[in-house]
Amino acid sequence: MDLHVLTDKYPFWRFFKEISGIPRGSGNCDAISDYIVNFAKERGLRYRKDKSNNVIVFKEASDDCTNDRTVMLQSHLDMVAVKRKDKIKDLKKEGIDLFIDGDFLKADGTSLGADDGIGVAYALEVLDDREMSHPAIEAVFTTDEEIGMLGAEALDTSDLKSSFILNIDSEDEGVFTAGCAGTTICSISFVPELEKTKGNCFKIYFNDLTGGHSGIEIDKHRGNAYRLLGRLILRLNRSGADVRYINVGGGGKDNAIAESCEAEILTGIGSGEFEKLFCEESEKIKDAYFLSDPDMKINLVNNGFSEMKEAFSEADSKKLTALLTQLPDGVVRMFGDTTLMTETSLNLGIVNACKDFVDMSICLRSNVDSQREYLKDLLEDMVDRIDADISFGPETQIWNYRKDSLLRDIITDVYEKVSGKKGEVNVIHAGVECGFFTKKMPDTDCVSFGPRIDEIHTWNEKLSISSAEMYCEIIRETLKQLST
């Protein structure tokens, strides 16, 4: 089935197809931003574009609107542009190739970009439609959401009048988000003292931990490869191994639970004795995490004896182990009455250690500002005491849950009438752009929602066609009710 057969009843499909032909990976938003500007010009709509390539398009209320409300339709222009290893396509210069598979829209060997192309397409349909009932519209298209919500942070909202925000950037059908956590990236560093040391050299590998998104899966208490490396080294040292670090790494992202890492180390005990201790302690770790990380592998490679190997000093090896093991990590506090949700957490996502530097990155999340500030103070105090450097930033904003929300009441009621099912209202521990908008525009009533999208940020990403079309009806009806 060709995509064009869907466009007669639901014009947003045409816009989705058009923007899919434009390369728009994060950091590459010039062309898609220009597309939105040209779209506005062709329809005689007022628009504003800023230095960050954010675009705002303004549309007056429909003739049948009986109030002076203004509603923001908010989505982001960029996508996570990834492809299958064998796919030949330059995603910096080429768009994606769409195809239909049953009820799903997919891309051939690449990510689909329904996050957040579908939100952009919905907004373009509203701006294009001359028959739809709606209040005054401010369609806000931001950039670089996927790499830190940079566009939303930079956007000047001083001329915006919206009292309601429809953030169309969620991917769970039937779920309406009404609050989110704020994040702070914490960077810890020190320059290690090195010593020429003799001993047996080994490479340690942690692989195939379950991992996951630190805002979504942190409450699953899965193993963090860097933390478990610290645990292993601590236990080996308690048994007399005298481990010195040569380097530690493994990549990762600060907002992802580390699923792998590796370390090159030197030990002052015999290789046979060390290998025996390593096997004992690694088995204890795997046993402790057999439910959350059943596929975890901890391997050891013997790199032989060295007479004069440059390694961290004993003091700085202990300092790095202390940072890996003693800094708070994982869920710090839950909240809620009947259904508990994560309120505050930390995730050690990146560690890079070599002879020139040690750098660590922690993603701190909280739905409560005072908790976030307390943890920043706590981290700073702990790091100061072991003589390392610490800094904070970038930071995203907390979106506080509103006890009373007309928009939330309207859209959940519309969802129930259209779908025949009751919607779920939640507060998430991840971050969304709503935090920046509600910080800059504190009186706005905001809801984040969207149709079903599976496996986002992967080349298996797929969008449910029936869900997308149902949400188009929900948006139309919600705007109609807001216009009366």
- pLDDT tens-place string over residues 386-403: 999 999 988 889 999 999
Q: Can you read off the two tokens belonging to residue 391?
A: 């800094």
pLDDT exceeds cutoff 90 at 266: yes
Predicted confidence at residue 402, as pLDDT, reads 92
Give the total number of structural domains in the chain.
Answer: 2
Q: Provide the CATH number for the domain around residue 447.
A: 3.40.630.10
The number of helices, as runs of H, and strands, as runs of E, in the chain is 11, 23
Contacts with 484 (C-beta within 8 Å, 6 or more apart), sequence order: 65, 66, 67, 133
Query: Would strands 424-428 and 175-180 be described as parallel, antiparallel, or unpaired?
Result: parallel
Local confidence band at 338 (pLDDT 50, 70, 90 cut-offs) = low
What's the CA dihedral at 381, 384, 390, 393 to 10 degrees?
20
Local confidence band at 252 (pLDDT 50, 70, 90 cut-offs) = confident
Q: Provide the CATH number for the domain around residue 277.
A: 3.30.70.360
* One domain for residues 171 and 48: yes
* One domain for residues 215 and 358: yes
* One domain for residues 230 and 329: yes
- If one compares 70 and 307, the residue with the highest pLDDT of the two is 70
Predicted confidence at residue 430, as pLDDT, reads 87
Query: Would strands 164-167 and 445-448 be described as parallel, antiparallel, or unpaired?
Result: parallel
Across 420-445, average pLDDT: 94
Local confidence band at 2 (pLDDT 50, 70, 90 cut-offs) = low
Across 417-444, average pLDDT: 95
What's the chain's average pLDDT?
A: 95
Q: Residue 475: what residue type?
A: I
Given 367, 395, 423, the domain boundary residue is: 395
pLDDT exceeds cutoff 90 at 243: yes
Across 188-209, average pLDDT: 97
* One domain for residues 262 and 215: yes
Nearest to 401 by CA among 441, 376, 367: 367
Across 113-119, average pLDDT: 97
Tallying the residues shown for the chain, one arrives at 484
Q: Can you read off the two tokens belonging to residue 4?
A: 């064009």
* One domain for residues 294 and 403: no
Q: How far is CA 303 from the centre of its chain?
A: 38
**Percent share of the chain, pLDDT over 90:** 92
**Model pTM?**
0.84
Residue 310, beta-bridge partner list: 196
Across 105-117, average pLDDT: 97
* One domain for residues 99 and 137: yes
Across 332-338, average pLDDT: 82
- If one compares 199 and 213, the residue with the highest pLDDT of the two is 199
* One domain for residues 361 and 432: no
Given 347, 376, 395, the domain boundary residue is: 395
Predicted confidence at residue 333, as pLDDT, reads 93
Predicted confidence at residue 6, as pLDDT, reads 75
* One domain for residues 38 and 166: yes
- If one compares 43 and 253, the residue with the highest pLDDT of the two is 43
The range of the structural domain enclosing residue 51 comes to 3-181+399-482
pLDDT exceeds cutoff 80 at 19: yes
- pLDDT tens-place string over residues 151-162: 999 999 999 999
> The tokens 């928009």 sit on which residue?
407
pLDDT exceeds cutoff 90 at 431: no
- pLDDT tens-place string over residues 52-80: 999 999 999 999 999 999 999 999 999 99
- pLDDT tens-place string over residues 141-181: 999 999 889 999 999 999 999 999 999 999 999 999 999 99
* One domain for residues 415 and 391: no
* One domain for residues 45 and 175: yes
Given 349, 364, 395, the domain boundary residue is: 395
